[in-house]
């Protein structure tokens, strides 16, 4: 034991003499752990929120019975099943509007509610009494209370009814209002109707479902994954992919720092072995040393990861709310498993990054064998092997593009492309530098190219990290820019009306319409409606569009029949959103059937339109047809065509006359600005992670150059001795770094464009259901090359400055001792 402690002390003494190297190793581990665990913290936070939502009084965590057509069903079925011994509890769900904002109203029956319903808040005996007897109680999460800007006990209005007094229940998901089922039926105007029956666990025998309810109900088994989890999977997968990429780039730094430490400590390790330290003990102590450093760095990395997650959480929460309507609390709360997993990933990452060095240490002979020729041959063999592996990986990518048909396959294509490119990079650089060397005539130029080639093996890992970071930046930048352009055009089509109104109730909407008829500046009132239904077992939205030139001229149709808008009029045709058409493989001319009031509604598809940012499937029908088939759908929305100079006066008149605020009435410009803000916020997380990744790659390059700086001195000292000034040597070194960085950046451009194509044509289609046009933005590419060169310049500056300032005595010593 004491022996091991002595050996450890000797190994650690190396870091005391090389604090910069230790800092590099720790920075690599800290950045890898921080970025990975930061992303995981964001994912965990969101998943906790989904769990809360799913567990709310029988979400998807509970088995349930629903109507075959997905609509409501008579309460009598509940009574029949209960009498037959089924442990069922009724629930009614709907959407209500309070002060212009929509909330999910959930009616439950607390007496029959199964005890095992997830983490449902318990209602004590006293509160049970208050909950079920008038005026009742409306349970809400603290976030919802804040959102409503009301105090506990307040009674907000909805559908012209005073709702039960508000009471806070901490366990509830935000955006949900829970009341007794009797109140819910009154508020939603659905007397004696139910949405679902929650099934408790009971060993008692009961007759079959069919014998009691016929074929009116169907059983939905409990699901481990909620709707929100399914919807947001792609978003979290994107985040995870970024986290993983940053983690790997961080590990490049660790690999380079451990590699340097190993090379520098090689004589020390040999001396230790010569002094009688066995290979087993030496390797054990090396692993202990590495694990200890990884433990320290892992803990610091976790704290940094927490800070990154806390900084990004508002944007992530806004994105998830904007894209999916998911309510994520703004306060970060993490489970102990996150901390443990973070430390574990740091240790495993460090061991993986150091695997090559540790293997070398295990195989290291005690005696040195100076065989430069053999080393060069081994390098050549390794380069050939890497290139062959790259071609194999590219072939896998090709196969996945041809035969893969899932989001995972899309990400696998991306991973394969990047891995293949990273593996083939040394060969690309080798070829480029060989061409340079062949074209050189003057001796210093020949040395410049030859020496750059010799330096490649030491720099290639860092250059691979730079290549990946640049390619991802090009890819994601191109995707975001393509998306941005398409989105703006789409927004013009979707927001074609000049003013948008969302009345607080149908009654108010009717009054507003009557008032608008007397306003000469209003050229047209475009009523809008929206209803929820199902298609192929999944929830979809039905949009009612009025038959008006505003929609006919602007609606963002991707493809349609020649007379699509005319075909919509009778109410037997519809337009479908791109994501629904892709998901369900629907094409123009197909017929779909959706549950509606009074039975199924069959519609022929006459067009497909872009519906970016909406995770749910959507169909658009004629407005009049919507009101016929969904009479209970709220008709509170409308758009107005108004002369532009009259808009501000009209909005202020509407606000004064009907007590509407900015949330209820807005002009087109405001709506567009808000949509663009949500759009930009959605990608701000991507941009932040992009910048982090590029930063980490810059550090990887710096550490590699610092690593090489010392070992390069024996190569540079003879040149100095034969008459090249230190300043000129430093300039040549800088030029060398910039040259290889430039070649890498130029190689990163086509790779990045390929990544962008993959994101747009494969990943986006699978993740979100829409395909965007592919644009190339030359200015953006030039900008990124400049950033890469700046990163290389910053990374090379320190070692080059050290060389320029090096005392002649040091160079003499190196020349005398190490030649």
Partner 1 sequence: MPDQTALLRVTGLTKHYRTADEDVAVLRGVDLTLATGESVALTGESGSGKSTLLHLIAGLDAADSGEIRLGDTLISALGDAGRAELRRDRLGLVFQQFNLIPSLTVSDNLAFQSRIAGRHDPAWHDELVERLGLGALLKRYPEQLSGGQQQRVAIGRALAPKPLLLLADEPTGNLDEDTADEVLRLARDLVVRTGCGFLMVTHSARLAATLDRQVTLHAGVIA
For 295, which DSSP code? Answer: H
Does 341 participate in binding partner 1 (rule CB under 8 A)? no
Going by C-beta distance under 8 Å and a sequence separation of 6 or more, which residues neighbour residue 466? 697, 698, 700, 701, 741, 744, 745, 748, 788, 791, 792
Is residue 7 at the binding interface for partner 1, with CB under 8 A as the rule?
Answer: yes
The Cα–Cα gap between 515 and 510 comes to: 9
| Strand 161-162 with 157-158, pairing | antiparallel
CB of 388 vs partner 1, minimal distance in Å: 23
Q: How far is CA 407 from CA 177, 242, 455, 766, in A?
A: 35, 15, 39, 5
Nearer to partner 1, 96 or 709 (CB): 709
Q: Which is nearer to partner 1, 13 or 680 (CB)?
A: 13
Interface with partner 1 (CB under 8 A), residue from 340, 355, 366, 507:
366
Q: What is the DSSP code (8-state) at residue 120?
A: P
Site for partner 1 in 239-298 (CB under 8 A): 267-268, 270-281
Stretch that binds partner 1, among 1-9, 63-71, 587-595, 642-650 (CB under 8 A): 1-9
- Closest contact distance (angstroms) between CB of 1 and partner 1 is 11
Do 756 and 478 contact (CB within 8 A), yes or no?
Answer: yes
155 binds partner 1 (CB under 8 A): no
Stretch that binds partner 1, among 13-21, 170-178, 217-225, 670-678 (CB under 8 A): 13-21
Q: What is the closest distance, in whole angstroms, from the C-beta atom of residue 378 to partner 1 in the complex?
A: 12
Indicate the residue among 374 and 384 with the shorter CB distance to partner 1. Answer: 374
Task: Write the CB contacts of 357 (distance below 8 Å, at least 6 apart in sequence).
Answer: 258, 259, 261, 262
Q: Does 14 interact with partner 1 (rule: CB under 8 A)? A: yes
Query: For every residue of 476-526, which 3-state class applies, written as one string?
Result: HHHHHHHHHHHHHHHHHHHCCCCEEEECCCHHHHHHHHHHHHCCCCEEEEE
Q: Count of residues binding partner 1 (CB under 8 A)?
A: 28
Q: What are phi and psi of 308, to 5 degrees?
A: -60, -45
Does 802 engage in binding with partner 1 (CB under 8 A)?
no
Residues in a beta bridge with 531: 542
Q: Give the length of the chain.
A: 819
Q: Applying CB under 8 A, which part among 364-372, 435-443, 514-522, 566-574 lies near partner 1?
A: 364-372
Return the number of the residue (777 or 815) whose C-beta is nearest partner 1.
Answer: 815
Residue 210 interacts with partner 1 (CB under 8 A)?
Answer: no
CA 41 to each of CA 242, 343, 531, 640: distance values in angstroms, whole numbers, following the listed order: 13, 13, 36, 44
- Region from 5-13, 106-114, 614-622, 674-682 binding partner 1, contact rule CB under 8 A: 5-13
Q: Provide the token pair at 46.
A: 């969101």
| Choice between 274 and 643, CB closer to partner 1 | 274
| Binding flag, residue 810, partner 1 (CB under 8 A) | no
Q: Which C-beta is closer to partner 1: that of 12 or that of 538?
A: 12
Q: Is 376 in the site for partner 1 (CB under 8 A)?
A: no
The C-alpha angle with vertex 509 and arms to 508 and 515, in degrees rounded to 5, equals 90
Residue 372 binds partner 1, judged by CB under 8 A: no
367 sits near partner 1 (criterion: CB under 8 A): yes
374 binds partner 1 (CB under 8 A): yes
Q: What phi and psi values does residue 499 have, to the nearest 5 degrees?
A: -135, 140
What is the token pair recorded at 470?
A: 């640049």
How deeply is 786 buried, as exposed, middle or buried, from its count of CB atoms within 10 A (0-12, 13-18, 19+)?
exposed
Tell me whether residue 14 or residue 771 sits nearer to partner 1 (CB atom). Answer: 14
- Which residue, 238, 777, 223, 814, is CA-closest to 538? 223
Q: In angstroms, what is the minimal distance from the CB of 773 to partner 1?
A: 58
| CB of residue 374 to partner 1, shortest distance in Å | 8
Residue number with CB closer to partner 1 (283 or 484): 283
Give the interface segment with partner 1, choosing from 25-33, 142-150, 361-369, 378-386 (CB under 8 A): 361-369
**What is the closest distance, in whole angstroms, from the C-beta atom of residue 6 to partner 1 in the complex?**
5
Q: Which residues are paired to 594 by β-bridges?
A: 601
The bridge status of strand 599-609 relative to strand 573-577 is parallel
Query: Residue 164 has which token pair?
Result: 């039960």
Give yes or no for residue 403 binding partner 1 (CB under 8 A): no
- The region of 140-148, 366-374, 591-599, 750-758 touching partner 1 under the rule CB under 8 A is 366-374
Nearer to partner 1, 119 or 278 (CB): 278
Which of these segments, 15-23, 46-54, 206-214, 792-800, binds partner 1 (CB under 8 A)? 15-23
CB-nearer residue toward partner 1: 267 or 539: 267
List the interface residues with partner 1, window 564-583 (CB under 8 A). none
Query: Number of C-alpha atoms within 13 angstroms, CB side, residue 227?
Result: 12
Nearest of 399, 382, 302, 408 to residue 40 by alpha carbon = 302
Residues whose CB falls within 8 Å of the CB of residue 446, separated by 6 or more in sequence, listed in order: 437, 440
By beta-carbon proximity to partner 1, the closer residue of 278 and 510 is: 278
Binding of partner 1 at residue 359 (CB under 8 A)? no
- The SS3 assignment for 727 reads helix
Nearer to partner 1 by Cβ, of 263 and 521: the residue is: 263
Q: How far is the CB of 709 from partner 1 (least distance, A)?
A: 17
Q: How far apart are CA 605 and CA 603, in angstroms?
A: 6
Instruction: Report the nearest approach of partner 1 to the CB of residue 408 (Å).
Output: 46
Decide: is 17 part of the binding site for partner 1 (CB under 8 A).
Answer: yes
Q: Is 197 among the residues that bind partner 1 (CB under 8 A)?
A: no
Report angle CA 172, 176, 177 to the nearest 5 degrees: 100
Q: What token pair was written down for 791?
A: 């990163």
Tell me if 708 contacts partner 1 by CB under 8 A.
no
Q: Which of 8, 10, 299, 427 binds partner 1 (CB under 8 A)?
A: 10
To partner 1, the closest distance from the beta carbon of 259 in angstroms equals: 18
On the 0-12 / 13-18 / 19+ scale of CB atoms within 10 A, 260 is buried
Task: Give the residue with the Cβ less far from partner 1, 13 or 333.
Answer: 13
Q: Which residues bind partner 1 (CB under 8 A)?
A: 2-3, 6-7, 10, 13-14, 16-18, 267-268, 270-281, 365-367, 374
């Amino acid at each position: 034991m004491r022996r091991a402690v002595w050996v450890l002390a000797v190994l650690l003494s190396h870091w005391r003499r090389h604090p910069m190297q230790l800092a590099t190793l720790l920075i690599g581990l800290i950045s890898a752990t921080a970025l990975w665990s930061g992303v995981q913290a964001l994912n965990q936070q969101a998943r906790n929120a989904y769990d809360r939502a799913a567990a709310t009084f029988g979400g998807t965590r509970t088995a349930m019975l629903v109507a075959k057509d997905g609509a409501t069903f008579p309460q009598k079925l509940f009574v029949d099943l209960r009498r037959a011994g089924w442990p069922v509890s009724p629930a009614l769900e709907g959407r209500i509007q309070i002060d212009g904002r929509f909330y999910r109203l959930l009616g439950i029956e607390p007496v029959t509610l199964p005890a095992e319903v997830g983490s449902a808040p318990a209602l004590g005996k006293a509160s049970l009494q208050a909950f079920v007897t008038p005026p009742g109680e409306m349970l809400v999460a603290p976030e919802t209370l804040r959102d409503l800007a009301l105090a506990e006990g307040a009674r907000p209005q909805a559908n012209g009814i005073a709702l039960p007094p508000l009471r806070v229940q901490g366990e509830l998901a935000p955006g949900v209002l829970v009341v007794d089922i009797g109140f819910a039926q009154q508020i939603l105007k659905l007397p004696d109707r139910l949405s679902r029956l929650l099934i408790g666990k009971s060993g008692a025998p009961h007759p079959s479902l069919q014998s009691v309810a016929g074929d009116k109900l169907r059983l939905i088994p409990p699901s481990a994954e909620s709707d929100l989890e399914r919807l947001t999977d792609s978003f979290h997968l994107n985040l995870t992919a970024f986290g993983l990429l940053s983690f790997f780039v961080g590990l490049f730094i660790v690999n380079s720092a451990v590699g340097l430490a190993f090379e520098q400590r090689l004589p020390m390790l040999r001396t230790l072995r010569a002094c009688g330290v066995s290979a087993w003990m030496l390797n054990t102590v090396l692993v202990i040393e590495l694990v200890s450093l990884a433990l320290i760095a892992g803990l610091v990395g976790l704290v940094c990861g927490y800070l990154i997650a806390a900084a990004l959480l508002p944007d992530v929460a806004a994105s998830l709310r904007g894209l999916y309507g998911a309510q994520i609390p703004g306060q970060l709360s993490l489970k102990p498993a996150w901390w443990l997993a973070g430390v574990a990933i740091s240790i495993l990452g460090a061991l993986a990054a150091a695997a090559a060095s540790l293997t070398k240490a295990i195989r290291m002979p005690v005696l040195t064998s100076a065989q430069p020729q053999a080393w060069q041959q081994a390098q050549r063999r390794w380069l050939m092997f890497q290139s062959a592996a790259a071609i194999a990986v590219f072939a896998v990518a090709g196969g996945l593009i041809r035969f893969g048909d899932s989001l995972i396959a899309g990400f696998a294509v991306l991973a394969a492309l990047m891995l293949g490119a990273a593996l083939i990079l040394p060969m690309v650089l080798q070829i480029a530098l060989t061409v340079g060397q062949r074209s050189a005539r003057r001796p210093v130029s020949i040395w410049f190219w030859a020496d750059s080639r010799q330096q490649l093996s030491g720099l290639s890992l860092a250059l691979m990290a730079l290549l990946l970071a640049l390619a991802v930046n090009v890819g994601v930048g191109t995707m975001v820019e393509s998306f941005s352009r398409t989105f703006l055009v789409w927004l013009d089509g979707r927001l074609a009306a000049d003013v948008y109104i969302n009345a607080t109730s149908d009654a108010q909407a009717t009054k507003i319409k009557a008032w608008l008829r007397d306003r000469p500046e209003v050229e047209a009132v475009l009523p809008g409606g929206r209803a929820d239904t199902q298609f192929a077992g999944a929830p979809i939205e039905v949009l009612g569009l009025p038959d008006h030139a505003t929609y006919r001229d602007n609606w963002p149709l991707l493809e349609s029949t020649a007379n699509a808008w005319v075909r919509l009029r009778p109410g037997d045709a519809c337009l479908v959103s791109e994501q629904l058409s892709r998901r369900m493989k629907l094409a123009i001319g197909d017929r779909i059937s959706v549950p509606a009031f009074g039975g199924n509604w069959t519609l022929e598809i006459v067009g497909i339109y872009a519906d970016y940012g909406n995770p749910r499937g959507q169909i658009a029908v004629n407005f009049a047809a919507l009101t016929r088939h969904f009479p209970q759908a709220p008709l509170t929305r409308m758009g107005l065509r108004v002369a532009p100079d009259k808009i501000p006066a009209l909005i202020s008149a509407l606000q004064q006359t009907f007590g509407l605020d900015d949330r209820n009435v807005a002009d087109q410009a405001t709506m567009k600005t808000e949509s663009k803000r949500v759009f930009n916020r959605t990608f701000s997380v991507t941009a932040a992670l992009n910048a982090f990744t590029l930063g980490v790659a810059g550090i990887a390059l710096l550490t590699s150059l610092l690593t090489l700086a010392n070992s390069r001195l024996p190569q540079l000292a003879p040149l100095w001795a034969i008459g090249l000034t230190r300043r000129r040597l430093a300039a040549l070194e800088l030029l060398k770094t910039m040259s290889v960085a430039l070649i890498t950046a130029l190689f990163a451009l086509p790779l990045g464009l390929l990544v962008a194509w993959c994101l747009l044509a494969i990943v986006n289609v699978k993740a979100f259901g829409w395909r965007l046009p592919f644009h190339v933005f030359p200015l953006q590419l030039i900008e990124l090359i400049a950033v890469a060169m700046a990163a290389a310049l910053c990374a090379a500056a320190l070692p080059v400055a050290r060389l320029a300032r090096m005392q002649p005595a040091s160079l003499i010593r190196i020349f005398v001792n190490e030649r």
